[in-house]
Amino acid sequence: MKFETLTVHAGGGRDRTTFDVAPPIHLSTTFEHGPAAERPGGHIYIRESNPTQDQLAEALAAIEGAEGALVFASGLAAGAAYLQAMPPGSHVLFPDDVYYGFRHIADEFLPRWSMTASTVDMSDLARVAAATTPATRLIWAETPSNPLMKIADLAGLAEIARRSGAKLVVDGTFATPALQRPLDLGADAVLHSTTKYLGGHSDVQGGALVFRKRDDTFEKAEEVRYILGAVAAPFNSWLVLRGLRTLACRMERHSANALALATALEAHPAVEAVHFPGLPSHPGHAIARRQMSAFGGMLSVRVRGGRDGALRAASRMKLFVNATSLGGTESLLEHRASSEGAGSPTPPNLLRVSVGLEHADDLIEDFRQALA
Ligand SMILES: Cc1ncc(COP(=O)(O)O)c(C=O)c1O
């Protein structure tokens, strides 16, 4: 089945007693079992599993062409579970502009879990190969990256990971499975913050790990989720499943709008640079063309005039909302260094933009008046 068809139907087994077309939400925290804890319905307690959560996991595995998926309370919880599934003593190689929550985990938590981490420019395969050590068990890629929109060559990274005996996990939050399929390119797992495009409406928090194989790491991550408890709630799972149904057409419009906006901004005299992999000037454009079917709805703009120039533009926006997060129907804009706080490596004149589903002309006009 084609991707669009799968997103509409995957995980949608119908209840043959009620014949609902839309799935029900199973809120029960506990499930009747046999006297020796036999599970006639397959479930026993909500922290371990529940039917609505399973339906979302089944849908995500189907659309990524994976053997299994686990859904979590947030994207950060999903990523933390993958890291906690690694053996003590592991070295993890992160991108130098990894999402700041994972940078925090690398700095503050991995040492407590007897693991080490280092960072590298993931867009440079030679540097990645040189940065692996005999202890490297995991290469962590994020492409496009947040917020610099760097592109990592996934097939190349998968080859390095294979040679090093390491896993490759890809944070595919910006691209979504609609535009990029890391498992087909050799990755072991894909991470999604389902809070973003998969939910798609800025009204639900969640995360997912999608595994090429139901291997040992899958089992360990499932154990982490069950025992540490960062499991996706039934209502949240249901909302993400509903979001998934429209993912393919939303990503088409997000991508078209972002390309139109990026092209207009690149020609604007008040703009120093636009980071968007769909622009031929982007250093990762050729790789992005190869591994993405479109370039997504995220871009970053470096405004002339430094931090003040960026904040001035942000304060003059009429349509774009100054807010963090991304992937909803409405366009959002964020002075990323302010959100990341002290020690942020993000350039001070950078505005991160989540391009929504409005008409591109209105979005371009809003930037024009703000930059005037
Ligand atoms: C690329 C990326 N990965 C992971 C996360 C974390 O997801 P969550 O906020 O759902 O924990 C985010 C959040 O912004 C993100 O942008």
Characterize the bridge pairing of strands 116-120 and 91-95. parallel
- Taking only the tens place, the pLDDT of each residue in 151-173 is 999 999 999 999 999 999 999 99
For 239, 242, 250, 345, the CA distances from 201, given in Å and listed in that order, are 9, 10, 11, 29
45 assigned to active site: no
Confidence of residue 369 (pLDDT cuts 50, 70, 90): very high
Q: How far is the CA of 89 from the centre of ligand 1 (A)?
A: 26
Residue from 82, 83, 99, 105 to probe ligand 1 pocket by mutation (most atoms less than 8 Å from CB): 99
- How much is the mean pLDDT over the chain? 97
Residue from 103, 104, 146, 193 to probe ligand 1 pocket by mutation (most atoms less than 8 Å from CB): 193
Looking at ligand 1, which atom is closest to the CA of residue 76? 11
- Taking only the tens place, the pLDDT of each residue in 253-312 is 999 999 999 999 999 999 999 999 999 999 999 999 999 999 999 999 999 999 999 999
Instruction: Note the pLDDT of residue 344.
Output: 87
How far, in Å, CA of 65 to CA of 54, rounded?
16
Instruction: Note the pLDDT of residue 12.
Output: 80
- Taking only the tens place, the pLDDT of each residue in 203-230 is 999 999 999 999 999 999 999 999 999 9
Contact between 144 and 288 under an 8 Å Cβ cutoff? The reply is yes
Looking at ligand 1, which atom is closest to the CA of residue 205? 10
Q: How far is the CA of 74 from the centre of ligand 1 (A)?
A: 8
Q: Is the CB of 97 under 6 A from ligand 1?
A: no
Percent residues over pLDDT 70 in the chain: 100
* In the predicted structure, residue 13 carries a pLDDT above the cut 90: no
Looking at ligand 1, which atom is closest to the CA of residue 102? 4
* In the predicted structure, residue 15 carries a pLDDT above the cut 90: no
Looking at ligand 1, which atom is closest to the CA of residue 207? 10
- Taking only the tens place, the pLDDT of each residue in 227-244 is 999 999 999 999 999 999
Residue with tokens 């942000």: 314
Instruction: Note the pLDDT of residue 342.
Output: 86
Confidence of residue 343 (pLDDT cuts 50, 70, 90): confident
**From the candidates 54, 97, 153, 171, which is the catalytic residue?**
171
**From the candidates 196, 302, 336, 352, which is the catalytic residue?**
196
